[in-house]
Amino acid sequence: MALPKLTTPTFELEIPSTDEKIKYRPFLVKEEKILMMAMESKKNPDIVQAVKDIVSECTFNKVNMSDLPMFDVEYIFLQIRSKSVGEVSKLKLLCPDDGVTYADIELDLNEVKVQVGDDHTNKIALDNGMGMIMKYPTIDSFKDSGIQDINATNMLEVISACILQIYEEEGKKTYDPKDQTQKELTDFIEQLTTKQFQNVQSFFDTMPKLKHTVTVKNPKTKKESEIVLSGLNDFFV
């Protein structure tokens, strides 16, 4: 006799970048196993692929993982995880006041939202009518470096992948990055002045992020401090 099939609940969320409503379900034991194996391997490509597969499966393959901005993927995964494991995440955070003591907190994942920085723009002026139009990094931008913030190791790779257009003469002449080699894009970025590069960095610093501010109390000094959590890693440490 065949065993009965369990009914999996479904929920609804809005994709932050588009406000599109999609259905999703909790991940199953078999999917959690894939994620745990990827985490244990500590191989960044395996972890990225596991997150992609779980988000795709749990949203009934209704989202294009190759085009979805990273902050959308993080938000969707957070919602899936909260319905799968629990809506409260237990964290152990380093207290900023002494830099050595850890404090335990419980975070309601329903309170975590995607936030965007002030004066954020995807149009970056460089010099004499030249500039760049940027797009947001996708999860594939982090396939080698792992799901983390942009750093010195992966910065040039991520920036070049996020250039949507390079223009001159205030947009009268444009260049498609798809027509350029990786070396040509890297050489272009490396020719930027420090000030111009800071403008590029500002795009990434102010772009939408999964972010939440928590208050921790040092169990030794009793001093309270605020800590800003940003990105998936921070919410599950």
Looking at residue 175, its amino acid is Y
Q: How far apart are the C-alpha atoms of 124 and 137, rounded to whole Å? A: 16
Domains of the chain by residue range: 11-86, 90-115+209-235, 123-206
Residues 181-202: what's their mean pLDDT?
Answer: 92
Q: Is 90 exceeded by the pLDDT of residue 193? A: yes
Using 50, 70 and 90 to split pLDDT, how confident is the model at 39? confident
Query: Could you please report the per-residue DSSP string of 177-227?
Result: GGGS-HHHHHHHHHTS-HHHHHHHHHHHHHS-EEEEEEEEE-TTT--EEEE
Residues 170-177: what's their mean pLDDT?
Answer: 88
Task: Classify the phi-psi angles of 108: left when phi > 0, otherwise alpha if psi is within -120 to 50, otherwise beta.
Answer: beta
Q: What is the pLDDT of residue 171?
A: 78
Q: What is the pLDDT of residue 192?
A: 93
Residue 139's contacts (CB-CB under 8 Å, 6 or more residues apart) are: 48, 51, 52, 65, 68, 70, 73, 147
Q: What is the pLDDT of residue 38?
A: 83
Q: What is the pLDDT of residue 236?
A: 61
Q: What is the pLDDT of residue 86?
A: 87
Under 8 Å between Cβ of 50 and 30: no
Q: How far apart are the C-alpha atoms of 209 and 232, rounded to whole Å? A: 10
Q: How far apart are the C-alpha atoms of 88 and 109, rounded to whole Å? A: 6
Residue 146's contacts (CB-CB under 8 Å, 6 or more residues apart) are: 44, 47, 48
Q: What is the pLDDT of residue 118?
A: 83
Q: Is 60 exceeded by the pLDDT of residue 149? A: no
Q: Is 80 exceeded by the pLDDT of residue 12? A: yes
Q: What is the pLDDT of residue 179?
A: 94
Tell how far CA 162 is from the center of its chain.
Answer: 14
Q: What is the pLDDT of residue 3?
A: 82
Quote the pTM value: 0.85
Q: How far apart are the C-alpha atoms of 107 and 100, rounded to whole Å? A: 21
Question: Could you report the per-residue pLDDT of 55-110, keeping only the tens digit for each?
Answer: 999 999 988 888 899 999 999 999 999 999 888 988 999 999 999 999 999 999 88
Residue 128's contacts (CB-CB under 8 Å, 6 or more residues apart) are: none
Q: How far apart are the C-alpha atoms of 162 and 172, rounded to whole Å? A: 21
Using 50, 70 and 90 to split pLDDT, how confident is the model at 127? confident
What's the chain's average pLDDT? 88
Q: Is 80 exceeded by the pLDDT of residue 117? A: yes
Q: Provide, rounded to the nearest whole percent, the portion of the chain with pLDDT above 70.
A: 94
Using 50, 70 and 90 to split pLDDT, how confident is the model at 231? confident
